[in-house]
Structure 1
């Protein structure tokens, strides 16, 4: 027979130990409320991002309509007179 394996001895020792800490009875309810809270916060953040993007887009459209950037700029010098 081969000598006992160290890993096997570790596993046997773990199996001989008493069970772990008992789980609280309301753990599922607390996890559910925390998950709902996280989803709600994620939705609010996503809504704020969309509002920010749409506001920036609206500001860009209004700015481009008011400033009219595609037209020629007015001449900065007057033409020469008498030549």
Structure 2
């Protein structure tokens, strides 16, 4: 008997044997945990969305005040040549 067949036979013996008893409140506890995880995930997504909106608003306000698309004024005058 090779490796995969031996493993398959072992799994079949485990499945054919007596099944362990399941705790009475396991389904309820699993549902509560799933609901808790879902609430946390939704809260995290909302927080990230609010953070993204705040970053967009802050960037827009900065760009409106600083006007980074304009050329800054020259600090020195160009040299006079040809006079």
Q: Distance in 1 between matches of 2:6 and 2:71?
A: 84
TM-score of the pair, normalised by structure 1: 0.72
Gaps of 5+ in 2: none
Give the alignment of 1:1-83 within 5 angstroms: 10=10, 11=12, 13-14=13-14, 15=16, 17=17, 19-78=18-77
TM-score of the pair, normalised by structure 2: 0.72
Q: Distance in 1 between matches of 2:6 and 2:73?
A: 88
Which structure has the bigger radius of gyration? 1
Provide runs of 4+ in structure 1 moved above 4 Å: 5-10
